[in-house]
Amino acid sequence: MIRWLIVTLSLSLALAALLVMFTPFLRDFSSFHIGIEGLALGAFICGALCFIGITPTRRALIALAFAAAISSLIEWLVIALPALANLVPNPVSYINLAEQQVLLGCIGAGPFVLAGGVVGGIIRARMHRKT
Amino acid sequence: MTRLIFNLGFALIGLLSLFALVRVSSDYLSTINSIQNFRWRVAAFEPPTADSTESRLTLEVQNRSNIDLDFKDLEVYLWLNDKTVGKTYGRFEARTIAAHANSHIPLTIQIDTNELRDTLAKNSGSTAWSLTGSYKVGAPFAASDFLYRLRLDIAP
């Protein structure tokens, strides 16, 4: 259970960091940004690590679903921060923008996370067969 | 031992990701916060006399954000007590102010001589000069410009 928690939390943060650094709207604000290729590679590795790190497959799938949900929530929170902190006179537009960018991130990263999960599952099965 | 290394590896991934998240959030919030107030200041001002047709004014503006910003459509009104006695008539040329830079903006205000003369005559002795106005700021992350109001008192 502890391992499940560590893996899920770490991958949630990793996916959130990837999504935030990829978000086109945030690109002008910070030097920490990546392109779609960085997001694809990072998401693929996250998916693979999840299935390599957690057994059985059912628990790994639940962990991946949690990681995806938590990372999307973190991305939403980061983009909506100026609205939540009452820094801007137009908070609704930041909330709307956050929703749009999260959708974009999910579409961009989702397939690669799943592909990584499949590859990770195969690697895990082979490792398991050898032992 | 393998389990410990494995867990430490994941914890390290989490910590590095947390660092990246905090850094991006901090940069983002500080920039958004800094563009809410540009800290305008009157750097120089020549008060017009009763027969002046123009008055020279230099404003200083700070761009405390991490990004270069375009300042446009600055229109400034000169007030004497509660009367408008002049304005810039849209002669401001758009300019880019670099991140973390200050810029001095020299302006020429066209004086409404009759209004100025009347106001000076009515308020002999008490001259409280002030400025109002508006300007737009273009930022690379926003499709449309932000509109701001300007209000400054000029110290005697």
Q: Is the peptide bond before A82 cis (omega within 30 degrees of 0)?
A: no
| Residue A82 touches chain B, beta carbons under 8 Å | yes
Q: Which residues in chain B (25-64) have CB-CB distances under 8 A to chain A?
A: 25, 27-29, 31-33, 36
pLDDT at res. B24: 93
Residue numbers of chain A with a pLDDT score lower than 50: none
Residues of chain A with Cβ-Cβ distance to B17 below 8 Å are 10, 13-14, 16-17
Contact B24 A29 (CB under 8 A): yes
Could you please report the per-residue DSSP string of chain A?
Answer: -HHHHHHHHHHHHHHHHHHHHH-GGGTTT-S----HHHHHHHHHHHHHHHHHHS-SHHHHHHHHHHHHHHHHHHHHHHHHHHHHTT-SS-HHHHHHHHHHHHHHHHHHHHHHHHHHHHHHHHHHHHHHHH-
pTM exceeding the 0.80 threshold for the entire prediction = no
Contact B17 A16 (CB under 8 A): yes
The whole-chain average pLDDT of chain B stands at 89
Cβ–Cβ < 8 Å for A75, A23: yes
Residues of chain B with Cβ-Cβ distance to A51 below 8 Å are none
Helix (H) or strand (E) holding B104: strand B101-111
Q: What is the ipTM of this complex?
A: 0.90
What is the distance between the alpha carbons of residues A87 and B6, in angstroms, rounded to a whole number?
Answer: 41
Residues A86-96: pLDDT tens digits? 888 888 988 99
Point out which residues pair with B59 in neighbouring strands.
Answer: B42, B105
Contact B24 A87 (CB under 8 A): no
The partner residue sitting opposite A78, judged by closest CB among B18, B24, B67, is: B24
Asked whether the predicted pLDDT for residue B85 surpasses 70, the reply is yes
pLDDT at res. B81: 86
| Residue B134 touches chain A, beta carbons under 8 Å | no
The partner residue sitting opposite A32, judged by closest CB among B11, B24, B140, is: B24
State which amino acid sits at residue A76.
W
Closest CA to B58 of B74, B81, B35, B36: B74
pLDDT at res. A131: 64
Residues of chain B with Cβ-Cβ distance to A53 below 8 Å are 6, 10
